[in-house]
Amino acid sequence: MKDKFYQYIQTLQDTITSKLEEIDGKAKFQEDIWKRPEGGGGRTRVIENGSVFEKGGVNISGVHGPLPKAMQSYFKVDDVDFFACGLSLVLHPENPMVPTVHANWRYFEMYDKSGEIVDSWFGGGQDLTPYYLFEEDAAHFHKVCKTSCDHHHPDFYSTYKKKCDEYFYNAHRGEARGIGGLFFDYCRKTDDMSMQDWYDFVTEVGDSFLEAYVPIVERRKELPYNQNHRDWQEVRRGRYVEFNLVHDKGTLFGLKTNGRIESILMSLPPRVQWKYDHHPKPESPEEKLVKVLKKPVEWQ
Amino acid sequence: MKDKFYQYIQTLQDTITSKLEEIDGKAKFQEDIWKRPEGGGGRTRVIENGSVFEKGGVNISGVHGPLPKAMQSYFKVDDVDFFACGLSLVLHPENPMVPTVHANWRYFEMYDKSGEIVDSWFGGGQDLTPYYLFEEDAAHFHKVCKTSCDHHHPDFYSTYKKKCDEYFYNAHRGEARGIGGLFFDYCRKTDDMSMQDWYDFVTEVGDSFLEAYVPIVERRKELPYNQNHRDWQEVRRGRYVEFNLVHDKGTLFGLKTNGRIESILMSLPPRVQWKYDHHPKPESPEEKLVKVLKKPVEWQ
C-alpha cells in the first residue's frame, strides 16, 4: 500500500504542476529534491511570481524511521518505527478575486519491532480560502467534493465537510480560515471500509482536485482589481498565517520534529499585512465574506 | 506594590508615547480603553503610518480575577485568584535601517482564598531586532541595559542578556530573533532582593528604554534605502511573526486565555513577505546580520 500510494502522489504531483504551469503561462515550478537525515525525503515544487500564482507549492514527501519523540507522545505510542507520505499543496494567487487553495492527502504506517504493520491510516482534504466571496465558486468546489465522497459513502461529505469547518478555524478570531471543503483523518480499516476502499476514496478526492479548483481560477483570474482589493487580500492572508502558525497541527509538527522548514513554510503567503483593529465597512463585499466565515454555510 | 507599579506603567506609557510622537512628527497614537469581562482591562495605544513608525503599540493592562485554566496548569497551581499588570511595546519603523524594538515590564500576584498574597514576581525585558546591523547601535543598546543592571547586581546583565538570547530564539530557523537585550522573569523576594529592590530594578530598566532606543532611531531614520532593503526588512519581519506566533509564550497565552486579540497582535508587523528558501548573498550586509543571529555576540 505504501509503495502504491507513494507512486500515486508522485504522478499526481506531475499532473497538478503541469496543469498549473499551463494556467499560469509565465512561471515554472522550481524543484528541490531533499533528503531527511533520519530516513526518506521529498520533492518540493514551488512557483513564484507567476502571472496567476504569486506563490505556491505542490510538495510530496515520504519519510520513515523511528517515530520522533514529539509524535510518540502525540500518538500515545512507545518507541516505534513509522512511514508517512503525502502530497501537500497551497496556492496563493495574485488576483484577490481568485481564492487560495490548500490540499493534502497522506498515508501513515506504524510498525512493531519485527517490522509488522501495527496501525495504518489515510488522511487529507482540501479547502478554499476566498478573499471575495463568489457563491457560485464555493458551491462548485463543494459540489466536486461531494461527488467524490458520494461514490464511497453517503455520510462522507457531510461528516468531512463538518470536520473541515471545525479544523480550519481561527478560534482566537472566532472565524473560519475559509469556506471549507473536506477534512478527514485516521481513516482506518473497518467492517465497511478496507484499506483498498480508503485508497480508492482518497485517490478519487485527489484526482478531483483540478476539477474542483481550476474552473474557479479560470473564471476569476482576469477580473479587474485595485489596491483596496489587494490590501484586503493581504490582511486576510494574515489570518492564514495566524492559522498555520498558531493552530495547524501539521505545521507545528513539522517545526517541532525537525522537518524541512522551507517545504513546510512554503504554505505562507508571499505578501501579508497586519493592520490594527481592521474591520470591513458595513454592507461591503469584505464584510459579506467575514459574515460567512463566522458562520459556516451548507454549500450543497 | 500592585497599585504603585500600575501607577508607574501608566506614567511610563505617557512618557514613551509622547516622546515617540515627537520623533515621528506625523502620526499620533490612537487610544483604545478596553475592559476584560472577568476583571480589569487596559489602555492600548497604537501608531500607524507615521513618518518614522510604520506601526507600533505601547499598551498597558491590569487584569485580575480567577486564574484562567490554561495558566493554572502552566503555573502548576490550583484554582487561585491573580492580578497581573504590565506595559508591552513593539515598534516597527518604516526605514529598514532603523531596528524594531520590543519591551515589556510586568508584575504578577497570586492570592489564596482569604485574599493573602501567596506569590508575586516581576518580569520583563527589552530587545532589539535590526534588519541591517550597525554594531555601534547594538553596543549602545546593550550598554544602556548593562548600566541599569549594574546599579542593582553585578550578575544581572550577563544573566539576563543570556536569557534574552535563549528566549528570543527561532529554534526552527536556528537563529535569534534579533541581537538581544535583557529578559528576566519570576523575580521574587530573596535574601538579597526585596520586592522593593526588584521594583527599583525594573523601573530603572523601564526608565532607560528611551535612552536605549531613541538615539538609534535618530541616527538611522534619515538614512536612504531602496526596494531591496525594504524587501529584506519585510522578509525578516516574517521571522518576527514566526517567533511571536509559534514560540512567544506571552502571545500564545493571550490567544488561549481569551485576551484582547487586537492588543496582543498589535506586535505583528504591518507588511511582511515570505519568499521560498530565501538566502542573502554571500558577503552582503544581509548575510552579515544573519551570521550574528546564528551566533549571539557579547556586545559589552
Q: What is the pLDDT of residues A80-93, one digit of tens each?
A: 999 999 999 999 99
Buried b (16+ CB within 10 A) or exposed e, A117-136: eebbbbbbbbbbbbbbbbee
Domain that holds residue A230: 2-294
In this predicted structure, what is the pLDDT of residue B79?
87
CATH value at residue A151? 3.40.1500.10
Comparing A20-29, A133-142, B253-262, the range with the smallest average pLDDT is: B253-262
Residue A257 has pLDDT above 80, yes or no: no
Mean pLDDT of the residues in chain B: 95
| Pairing of β A53-66 and β B175-176 | unpaired
pLDDT in tens, B78-124: 889 999 999 999 999 999 999 999 999 999 999 988 999 999 999 99
Residue A8 has pLDDT above 90, yes or no: yes
Comparing A11-20, B36-45, B152-161, B195-204, the range with the smallest average pLDDT is: B36-45
User: CA of B271: which chain A residue's CA is closest?
Assistant: A273
pLDDT confidence bin for A127, thresholds 50/70/90: very high
CB contact under 8 A, B252 and A274: no
Q: Report how far residue B159's alpha carbon sits from residue A212's, in angstroms, rounded to the nearest whole number.
A: 56
Of B242, B252, B265, the CB nearest to A274: B265
Identify whether A299 is part of a domain: no
Average pLDDT over residues B56-74: 90
CB contact under 8 A, B57 and A276: yes
In this predicted structure, what is the pLDDT of residue B18?
98
In this predicted structure, what is the pLDDT of residue B170?
95
Average pLDDT over residues A200-207: 98
User: CA of B277: which chain A residue's CA is closest?
Assistant: A262
pLDDT in tens, A51-88: 999 999 999 999 999 988 888 888 888 889 999 999 99
Q: How would DSSP label each residue in chain A?
A: -HHHHHHHHHHHHHHHHHHHHHHHSS---EEEEEE-TTSEEEEEEEEES-SSEEEEEEEEEEEEEEPPHHHHHHHT--S-EEEEEEEEEEEEESSTTSPEEEEEEEEEEEE-TTS-EEEEEEEEEEEEE-SS--HHHHHHHHHHHHHHHHTT-TTHHHHHHHHHHHHSEETTTTEESSSEEEEEEEE---SS--HHHHHHHHHHHHHTHHHHHHHHHHHHTT----HHHHHHHHHHHHHHHHIIIII-HHHHHHHHTT--HHHHGGGS-SEEE--TT--PPTTSHHHHHHHHHHS-----
Residue of B247, B248, B276, B278 to mutate, testing the A interface (most A Cβ within 10 Å of its Cβ): B276
Q: Report how far residue A58's alpha carbon sits from residue A13's, in angstroms, rounded to the nearest whole number.
A: 7
Cβ atoms B292, B114 nearer than 8 A: no
C-alpha cell at B119: 506569590
CB contact under 8 A, B242 and A238: no
* Chain A residues close to B256, C-beta within 8 Å: 172
Q: Report how far residue A193's alpha carbon sits from residue A110's, in angstroms, rounded to the nearest whole number.
A: 19
Identify whether B244 is part of a domain: yes
Average pLDDT over residues A29-53: 95
pLDDT confidence bin for A233, thresholds 50/70/90: very high
Residue A256 has pLDDT above 80, yes or no: no
Phi and psi torsions of A21, nearest 5°: -65, -40
Identify whether A300 is part of a domain: no
Residue B253 has pLDDT above 90, yes or no: no
User: CA of A273: which chain B residue's CA is closest?
Assistant: B271
For this complex, say whether ipTM is above 0.90.
yes
Q: Is A172 a catalytic residue?
A: no
Average pLDDT over residues A36-45: 92
Interchain CB contacts (distance < 8 Å): A and B: 79
C-alpha cell at B121: 514576581
C-alpha cell at A125: 482534504
In this predicted structure, what is the pLDDT of residue A134?
97
C-alpha cell at B98: 532603523
The number of residues making up chain B comes to: 300
Of B46, B262, B270, the CB nearest to A273: B270
Of the candidates B92, B102, B140, B229, the residue annotated as catalytic is: B102
pLDDT in tens, B37-46: 889 999 999 9
Identify whether B134 is part of a domain: yes
For residue B230, the number of C-alpha atoms closer than 13 Å in the C-beta half-sphere is 10
Identify whether B179 is part of a domain: yes
pLDDT confidence bin for A250, thresholds 50/70/90: confident
Identify whether B18 is part of a domain: yes
Mean pLDDT of the residues in chain A: 95
* Chain B residues close to A46, C-beta within 8 Å: 276-277
Average pLDDT over residues A184-204: 96
pLDDT confidence bin for A103, thresholds 50/70/90: very high
In this predicted structure, what is the pLDDT of residue B77?
87
Measure A173 CA to nearest chain B CA, in Å.
8
**Whole-number percent of chain B with pLDDT over 70:** 100
Identify whether B300 is part of a domain: no
Residue B249 has pLDDT above 90, yes or no: no
Measure A74 CA to nearest chain B CA, in Å.
18
Identify whether B299 is part of a domain: no
* Chain B residues close to A273, C-beta within 8 Å: 270-272
* Chain A residues close to B28, C-beta within 8 Å: none
Domain count, chain B: 1
User: CA of B172: which chain A residue's CA is closest?
Assistant: A255
Of the candidates A64, A92, A102, A153, the residue annotated as catalytic is: A102
* Chain B residues close to A270, C-beta within 8 Å: 273-275
pLDDT confidence bin for B255, thresholds 50/70/90: confident
pLDDT in tens, B165-191: 999 999 999 999 999 999 999 999 999
